[in-house]
Structure 1
């Protein structure tokens, strides 16, 4: 059974069809890249997979369960297992919250915060290559690459099976980009994560993804 199975997905914004009959599947431990120019429907596909934007038609099956027919209440226990990592490492973190609070937030929201919570946060920061002392800092005190590592740590706090990586390294310098991609590869090997990887940089896609789907004008044209 695929970890993620998408069939004939359609997303419309008014009269504009952003995603048109898109289908693909993804196995645990695999990276599937959605490649294509800006505006081709990659991010709309990602939002629909996460059910952050409900599709207008089609199916999204995660771990064998059809998500598009579920209510928001029924989706709540499933959402932690499907986590996004966004393009803007600073924009995805509140400037008013310390790093340790950002990483702890999923644990608290999901009712999994315990007396061992601070140690769990330190472990997560260490796992993504940050010194746990960084937890006392604010986002503006970290580099873009460090903030993206924080975003990955926060996603891992939910113990997901799938990460939806929407241009996760496009805002980073090339040397920093390589470090973040290496981290993601290591985490995939360790945890068996599936990655839906949204990217427009073909060199990055070729080196990082196991399979590639190319999109144009909302449709799959190859892959």
Structure 2
């Protein structure tokens, strides 16, 4: 059974069709890239997969469950298993919260926070993404872009997800730090068996990082592209 199976997905903004009959599947432990220019529908597809925007029509099956017909009360327990990592490492974290609080927030929301071992869990997550746990005392503006993106990945991992939706996760980073973040994501996938839906406009990055790639143009899948395998 695929980890993610998307069938005939349609997303509209008023009269504009952003995603038009898009279908694909993703296996556990696989990286599938959606590649294409800005405005082609990649990010709208990602939002619909996460049910952060409800599609006009089509189906999104995650771990065998069809999500688009579920009420929010039934979606809520599934959301921890599919987590986003966004393009802007600073915008995805509250500037008012220390890094340790941002990483702890999902645990608290999901009722999994324990004052005795919660701080150790946060330190473990920061260490896992290559950040000194002492950075937990800092605010996002006190970190570099690469460090802040690593903190965002730690926050996503706090939910013990099976799927990460990576929406241009390295495009806002300096070229010198992109490879480090991509290598981190590859290591996490090997260790945890995560599936990645990788949104990217850079074909060179896609060829290096993805197992498979689909080209999007004007809201449609136009053709498969080679990945790293």
The bucket for the TM-score relative to the shorter chain is over 0.9
| 1-structure distance, mates of 2:126, 2:63 | 28
Q: Which runs of 4+ in 1 moved over 2 A?
A: none
The Cα shift of 1:189 comes to 0.2
- In structure 2, stretches of 5+ residues that fail to align are 225-229
CA RMSD after TM alignment = 0.4
1:143 aligns with 2:144: yes
Q: Which residue does 1:132 correspond to in 2?
A: 133
SS in 1 for 2:89: coil
Q: Which residue does 1:104 correspond to in 2?
A: 104
SS in 2 for 1:90: coil
1:122 aligns with 2:123: yes
- Residues 146-183 of structure 1 deviation map (CA, whole Å, 9 limit, x = unaligned): 00000000000000000000000000011100000000
| 2-structure distance, mates of 1:199, 1:9 | 19
Q: State the number of aligned residues.
A: 223
Alignment of 1:203-214 (within 5 A): 203-214=204-215
| 2-structure distance, mates of 1:116, 1:55 | 40
TM-score by length of 1: 1.00
Q: Which residue does 1:74 correspond to in 2?
A: 74
- In structure 1, stretches of 5+ residues that fail to align are none
1:158 aligns with 2:159: yes
TM-score by length of 2: 0.97
| 2-structure distance, mates of 1:180, 1:191 | 16
